[in-house]
Amino acid sequence: MRNSTTNITRREAIKLCAGVGAGLLLLGTRCLHAGIPPSGQRAADLFSKTIPSSGEQIPVIGIGTARRYNVGTSAEERAPLREVLQHFVDLGGKMIDTAPSYGTAETVVGDLVADLGIRDQVFYATKVGAGGQGREAGIAEIEQSFRRLRTDHIELIQVHNLAGVNEMLPVLRDLKESGRIKYLGVTTTSPNQYEQLEQIMRNEPLDFIEVDYAIDNREVEARILPLAQDEGIAVLAALPFGRGRVFEAFGDQPIPQWAAEIGIESWAQFALKYVVSGHRPVA
């Protein structure tokens, strides 16, 4: 039976939270102030969690590519992203969350990772959304992701916003069995899909889900996160800053003294620490 009162249980429940905004990692100072340790701090020092279905450990902070990685081919546009990716892996970071629907992001990530020679240091999480137009369209989109990411294996593919989920989960299971992907899952950031998400979590073997979760957007704490705990499903937190809404709420206020005392140096770090701690409302 689930213990509904302790934070320890809650923390253990959220085996993994990642999916951080790309802008977060774009600028050096933002990087340092948002939970990423300064240069010199290595992978062994990073806060990691366990993927329940495999026992694999992974650092809790990743890169999201939905907006900042949707750029063209010029060196000027790509240089800051290249620098971020190098810095990210130097620090021991692994997860890069992308999707075919993020404009050029998959291609940009694939090019930069190949160029930097860091493929074996990163964990690719991409998605399939074209399954909404049928199984074959979904399969074609997955094959396109392999080409764009310039790889013969992808760590995680998730059904994006549950599009064509009944058609695509068997396809993802086949890919997992053949070793082309390591994990599978589903995503949504729409509360009106939470009920369907819960049904899928109960009835399908999933390694991951990805849901919207931020300090000011905690609906998933009520049912989705406890269910993930019960089912042994890793959780990726999308939109940890609520697309910037969190910063508007904090405004110009200084960080409280008690937060500074536990090592929090910015509102970005404050927001991320909330998400990766895995809070649960006390009954």
Ligand X SMILES: NC(=O)c1ccc[n+]([C@@H]2O[C@H](COP(=O)([O-])OP(=O)(O)OC[C@H]3O[C@@H](n4cnc5c(N)ncnc54)[C@H](OP(=O)(O)O)[C@@H]3O)[C@@H](O)[C@H]2O)c1
Q: Under 8 Å CB-to-CB from 49, ≥6 apart: which residues?
A: 14, 15, 16, 17, 57, 58, 60, 234, 276
Q: Cα(192)–Cα(211) distance, rounded to whole angstroms?
A: 12
- Tell whether residue 87 is a contact of ligand X (CB under 6 A): no
**Out of 15, 17, 21, 59, which residue is the one contacting ligand X (CB under 6 A)?**
21
CB 275 within 8 A of CB 215: yes
Considering only residues 150 to 169 of the shown chain, the ones binding ligand X according to CB under 6 A are 160-161
Pairing of β 48-50 and β 57-59: antiparallel
Nearest to 91 by CA among 27, 48, 39, 49: 39
**Out of 14, 17, 24, 233, which residue is the one contacting ligand X (CB under 6 A)?**
24
* 3-state secondary structure at position 221: helix
**Out of 170, 205, 244, 256, which residue is the one contacting ligand X (CB under 6 A)?**
244
- Tell whether residue 128 is a contact of ligand X (CB under 6 A): no
* 3-state secondary structure at position 115: helix
Q: Cα(170)–Cα(204) distance, rounded to whole angstroms?
A: 10
- Tell whether residue 200 is a contact of ligand X (CB under 6 A): no
**Out of 59, 138, 240, 278, which residue is the one contacting ligand X (CB under 6 A)?**
240
- Tell whether residue 242 is a contact of ligand X (CB under 6 A): yes
- Tell whether residue 137 is a contact of ligand X (CB under 6 A): no
Angle of CA points 209, 181, 37, to nearest 5°? 60
Size of the site for ligand X (CB under 6 A): 27
Residue 18: exposure state from Cβ atoms within 10 A (0-12, 13-18, ≥19): buried
- Tell whether residue 30 is a contact of ligand X (CB under 6 A): yes
Backbone angles phi, psi at 158, to 5 degrees: -120, 150
- Shortest Cβ 179–ligand X spacing (Å): 24
Residue number with CB closer to ligand X (171 or 246): 246
- Tell whether residue 88 is a contact of ligand X (CB under 6 A): no
- Tell whether residue 187 is a contact of ligand X (CB under 6 A): yes
Residue number with CB closer to ligand X (180 or 243): 243
Q: What is the longest distance spanned by two Cα atoms in the chain?
A: 55
Q: Which stretch binds ligand X (CB under 6 A): 19-27, 70-78, 176-184, 273-281?
A: 19-27
Which residues of the shown chain bind ligand X in the complex (CB under 6 A)? 19, 21-24, 30, 34, 64-67, 97, 160-161, 187-189, 210, 238-244, 247, 268
